Structures are given as C-alpha cells and as structure tokens.
Amino acid sequence: MSKTTLSTQLPRKAAQNLKIAGEQIRLARLRRDLSISQIAERAACSTLTVMRIERGISTVAIGAYIRVLFALGLDDSITALAKEDEVGRTLQDLDLKHRQRASRHI
C-alpha cells in the first residue's frame, strides 16, 4: 500500500478521472492483444509502472503515461488535454469587455 500525503492526494473527481483514463489505457492494450510486459518494453518503463498507470495511480510521472500512450499509438490524444477550456475562454471574454465611456465634448 502506498503512502499518501497531502501533496500526493488528488481531489476526488480528478482521482476518478485518472482511474477512468487508466481503465481506458488498459482496454486499449487488451484490444491490441498486447501484454503488460510488451507495452512496458515499448514504453521503456517497468511492468509495475504500466500496472500502476492502468490502475490510475496519481504518483506515476506524466511522461510515463505519454510513453505508454505512444506505445499504444494513442499519443495524439494527449493534445486533447485542456483543449476545450470554456471557463478560461469565458474569463478571457469578460476581461475583454471593458466598459467604454463616451468621449467628453467640451
């Protein structure tokens, strides 16, 4: 069992999303009929790392996730992260809408 400290704990929703991502990676591996050791070899990491990725463990480095996605031919999917930033765009739009004053005519 791994140690969890405040620095390694994720918010519940983020942890759930990471578990879902891990499950999707596992399903992608199984669809390709590849073993954990084959993916580990192709991703230049250990089988333990691949197993931890598939379980959605938050302490695995993002580089390891990317190497596993590359080994599965899914590395283009990494560019979808934070692509649809509705909150950020809304905040940006609000910042652009400064109130304009009419010029003074003296």
Cβ 45 vs Cβ 68: under 8 Å = yes
Cα–Cα distance for residue pair 51/47, rounded to 1 Å: 6
Whether pLDDT at 53 is above 60:
yes
The pLDDT of residue 33 is above 80: yes
Residue corresponding to tokens 């591996």 = 29
Residue 92 or residue 7, greater confidence:
92
Q: Which CATH number fits domain 12-96: 3.40.50.970, 2.160.10.10, 1.10.260.40, 1.10.10.10?
A: 1.10.260.40
What residue type is assigned to position 85 of the chain?
A: D
pLDDT score of 12: 95
pLDDT exceeds cutoff 60 at 1: no
Task: Give me the sign of the Cα torsion angle 15, 52, 55, 79.
Answer: positive
Structure tokens at 40: 């580990």
Mean predicted confidence (pLDDT) in 50-69: 96
Domain boundaries, the chain: 12-96
Is residue 69 within 8 Å of 75, Cβ to Cβ? yes
CA-CA-CA-CA dihedral for 50, 52, 53, 56, to nearest 10: 160
Q: What is the residue-averaged pLDDT of the chain?
A: 87
